[in-house]
Amino acid sequence: MAKKVGRIRDVARETGLSTATVSRVVNGAKNVKPDTREKVLRACEMLDYVPNPAARTLSTNQSRTVAAIIPTIEHSVFAKYIAAIEQTLGERDYSLLLAISNADLEQELKAARQLLGMGAEAFILSGSDHSRALLDMFDRRGVPYVYTSIWEQASPVPTIGYDNHLLAARAVEFLASEGHENIAIIHGPLHDNDRTRARRDGAVAAGRGKLKLDFFETVLSVEGGKKAVRSMLRGGRRHSAILCFSDVLALGSYFALFEAGLGIPQDVSVMGFDNLDWSAHVAPALTTIDLPAEQMGVEVATQLMQNLEMAQPIATTLLAAKIIKRRSVRSL
Amino acid sequence: MAKKVGRIRDVARETGLSTATVSRVVNGAKNVKPDTREKVLRACEMLDYVPNPAARTLSTNQSRTVAAIIPTIEHSVFAKYIAAIEQTLGERDYSLLLAISNADLEQELKAARQLLGMGAEAFILSGSDHSRALLDMFDRRGVPYVYTSIWEQASPVPTIGYDNHLLAARAVEFLASEGHENIAIIHGPLHDNDRTRARRDGAVAAGRGKLKLDFFETVLSVEGGKKAVRSMLRGGRRHSAILCFSDVLALGSYFALFEAGLGIPQDVSVMGFDNLDWSAHVAPALTTIDLPAEQMGVEVATQLMQNLEMAQPIATTLLAAKIIKRRSVRSL
DNA sequence: CTGTTAGCGCATTCAG
DNA sequence: CTGAATGCGCTAACAG
């Protein structure tokens, strides 16, 4: 129910100029006499004039809006990532349209349809697991999109993220290099998350033939981590280290271990994934893999804007992630 | 760089009808012959037609977009809240435009300007601390807005949330009823957060004349909580309980206490605020105040949509929040 | 440097 | 029940 607000023609009338000139001033065209510009600007101020976005979009066919569909916004590395996207877009006057899919392909499709209907010009998706219908829709319309949180050299769709397979393998190798040969790996649901699957595969590959790896699938939460460790412990104290595919799970592991009277890392080593802001501050400080969430947000937003404005192709880019060694893992 | 996609007139031509009729069908007007409707729908499908949002907005003056500006999205109760808003809006085909202000009035104003420029029809703000310029802008344009996470009966602007003052007082009273007379209160920055200030005031009011309350201001993070407890402990073991104005701070307190070799709740009781999803799963389980984040999101989204569509005034509403008693507080 | 003129794609009168 | 005509507010040629 927006009130009537100054329009371009009001400014034109007020200044005795044409709407074209006002438009030029407002859009920063340089071919305007300084005096004129001044006058227009003053009138805009006075009339509280702000260009109507719909009219502008209709006329230019550009909405300066990017959509991101994420599986969840809760307790995770996504928050930082989204914040980075929003800030980066904002710097160049783009806006972020956000939707949450709950890792459900149907919901994702529905959300995308709606966001497209809101004028989103480009899409940021998570992982590579999406419905054919969704991609077809984007392709038919020529809407650019990127997969994030993953890195797939060979993907036909550009990916901006890290190599989950490799990172998990590195984590396992690191643990092995510290003398751990019997490792419990705790992770979230596999069926709806290709990143988790890639990590598991990477771990398996790294351990093959050398290590004894046991996998525990659980809900991606502190509670889930706790339960997984409890069930691990029920199986006997066979593991010298626990690798969690999320710091959140690692936190749950900490508490399960505390409750069981086991010391970290004296009795069991624990390693995480994410490097959430608190992971350096739990006791003992958590050894984890630092995922470049923020950098990923900046990168994806930047590339999308460049694609939109200069038709520059989106480049698949691998972001560095490294192991942060802290105190929760000990050498055997 | 969206590809040319079917327009209303293409559908009209295809079906041999007028654009007006197509528009009627697409918008679900009932005065259309079933046969005609069928034919149009088929053509829409075939031509992959989706109404151009900008044109529609320009014509109807409604964008079906609501904006939310939040101070931060990280580690907090905000994630759940945002998710609830998004889902609720989505159910009625509204979209969420999100911006992050970093609790900075200038950034907030800039973001609002931009969101308004993107066509946001209503605004969701956090707390009651906003720049005059921002509110003037909304008022001049007749854009509805709500303050959330707070409840102020007397506020001229509608508020939807909980009573921070009262809740903090309740928390202090609860601790007192368990025999605690010497309480440390840990909270985030006061200068940029009116909700924190309200909680502090509530605590002070509840403790006046009866209790010994010491306040520790710190950064709102696990690390902040840790540091606050460390400085509290440096002052001698005077406090029997710690009240944190956020579960995140409570988690930091846990670790600081663990490191100091102090048991919870044997040596010190700890109470939080938020009831984040993990707070039931730390050890010992955290006694805290359950803030209705999700309900708040649903409520604010619903009311805003009703205001937009039926000019229904936004009602200030108080959401219930209650103390969740778990194991981190003991009776003296 | 500035004004005139066309649309952008759709919803909506008003006729019929 | 359907169509023709109009305008939403702005930008983009094209003149001048």
HSE of B112 in the Cβ direction (CA atoms, 13 Å)? 28
Whole-angstrom Cα distance, residue A281 to residue A263?
A: 17
What does the pLDDT average to over A7-17? 88
Contact across the interface for A58 and B58, Cβ inside 8 Å: yes
Tell me which H or E stretch contains B185.
strand B182-187
Whole-angstrom Cα distance, residue A63 to residue A51?
A: 13
Select from B81, B135, B222 the residue whose CB has the most chain A CBs within 10 Å, as the one to mutate to test that interface: B222
- CA geometry: angle at A74 spanning A68 and A78, to 5°? 45
Closest Cα of chain A to B205: distance in Å?
A: 32
Q: Which residues contact A317 (CB under 8 A, 6 or more apart)?
A: A151, A159, A160, A299, A303
Whole-angstrom Cα distance, residue B98 to residue B88?
A: 15
| Position A246 confidence tier, pLDDT thresholds 50, 70, 90 | very high
Whole-angstrom Cα distance, residue A268 to residue A250?
A: 12
Q: Residues B102, B103, B106, B111: what is their CA dihedral angle, to the nearest 10 degrees?
A: 60
Whole-angstrom Cα distance, residue B178 to residue B181?
A: 9
| Position A61 confidence tier, pLDDT thresholds 50, 70, 90 | confident
Mean pLDDT rounded to a whole number for chain A: 92
Q: Which residues contact A319 (CB under 8 A, 6 or more apart)?
A: A151, A160, A161, A162, A292, A295, A296, A299
- Tens of pLDDT, residue by residue, chain B (332 residues): 344 567 888 888 889 888 889 999 988 888 888 888 888 888 888 887 888 888 988 888 888 899 999 998 876 688 889 999 999 998 888 888 888 898 999 999 988 988 887 789 999 999 999 999 999 989 988 899 999 999 999 999 999 999 999 999 999 999 999 999 999 999 999 999 999 999 999 999 999 999 999 999 999 999 999 999 999 999 988 899 999 999 999 999 999 999 999 999 999 999 999 999 999 999 999 999 999 999 999 999 999 999 998 888 999 999 999 999 999 999 98
> How many other C-beta atoms can be found within 10 angstroms of the C-beta atom of residue B201?
14
- Tokens (6 digits) for B77: 């109760």
- pLDDT for position A35: 87
Backbone angles phi, psi at B277, to 5 degrees: -60, -25
Q: β-strand A322-324 against A288-290: which pairing, if any?
A: antiparallel
Which amino acid does the sequence have at B23?
Answer: S
- pLDDT for position A241: 98
Residue A240 gets which letter from DSSP?
A: S
Tens digits of per-residue pLDDT, B94-144?
888 888 898 999 999 988 988 887 789 999 999 999 999 999 989 988 899
Contact across the interface for B118 and A83, Cβ inside 8 Å: no
Which amino acid does the sequence have at A181?
Answer: E
- pLDDT for position A1: 36
Residue A92 has pLDDT above 70, yes or no: yes
Contact across the interface for A252 and B276, Cβ inside 8 Å: no
Tens digits of per-residue pLDDT, B53-64?
889 888 888 888
Burial class (CB in 10 A: 0-12, 13-18, 19+), B324: middle
Q: Which residues contact A133 (CB under 8 A, 6 or more apart)?
A: A109
Sheet with A212-217, edge to edge strand ranges: A212-217, A182-187, A241-244, A269-271
- pLDDT for position B327: 97
In terms of phi and psi (left: phi > 0; alpha: psi -120 to 50; beta: otherwise), the region of B119 is: left
> What is the Cα A105 distance to its own chain's centre?
17
Tell me which H or E stretch contains B207.
helix B194-207
Place of tokens 């510290």: A178
What does the pLDDT average to over A28-42? 87
Residues of B within 8 A of A308 (CB-CB) are: 1
Secondary structure (3-state) at B169:
helix
- Tokens (6 digits) for B118: 């993107």
What does the pLDDT average to over A68-79? 83
- Tokens (6 digits) for B50: 């989706």
Whole-angstrom Cα distance, residue B201 to residue B207?
A: 10
| Position A53 confidence tier, pLDDT thresholds 50, 70, 90 | confident
Closest Cα of chain A to B32: distance in Å?
A: 24
Residues of B within 8 A of A223 (CB-CB) are: 277-278, 280-281
From the CA atom positions of chain B, what is the Rg in Å? 25
Whole-angstrom Cα distance, residue B305 to residue B311?
A: 9
Nearest CA in chain B to A313: B1
Tens digits of per-residue pLDDT, A106-126?
999 988 988 887 789 999 999
Contact A69, A101 (CB under 8 A): yes
List chain C nucleotides near protein: any atom < 7 Å from a Cβ.
1-5, 7-13
Tens digits of per-residue pLDDT, A227-244?
999 999 999 888 999 999
Which amino acid does the sequence have at B127?
Answer: G
- pLDDT for position B4: 54
HSE of B46 in the Cβ direction (CA atoms, 13 Å)? 12
- pLDDT for position B2: 41
> How many other C-beta atoms can be found within 10 angstroms of the C-beta atom of residue B30?
6
Whole-angstrom Cα distance, residue B42 to residue B58?
A: 26
Secondary structure (3-state) at B242:
strand
Select from B46, B70, B73, B262 the residue whose CB has the most chain A CBs within 10 Å, as the one to mutate to test that interface: B73
Place of tokens 């964008």: B63
Nearest CA in chain B to A226: B281
Residue A4 has pLDDT above 80, yes or no: no
Whole-angstrom Cα distance, residue A287 to residue B185?
A: 31
CA of B15 to C1' of C15 (A): 22
> How many other C-beta atoms can be found within 10 angstroms of the C-beta atom of residue A133?
13
Whole-angstrom Cα distance, residue B146 to residue B160?
A: 7
Tell me which H or E stretch contains A217.
strand A212-217
Contact across the interface for A252 and B74, Cβ inside 8 Å: no
- pLDDT for position A47: 83
- Tokens (6 digits) for A327: 């105190």
| Position A3 confidence tier, pLDDT thresholds 50, 70, 90 | very low
Sign of CA pseudo-dihedral A75, B276, A100, B96 = negative
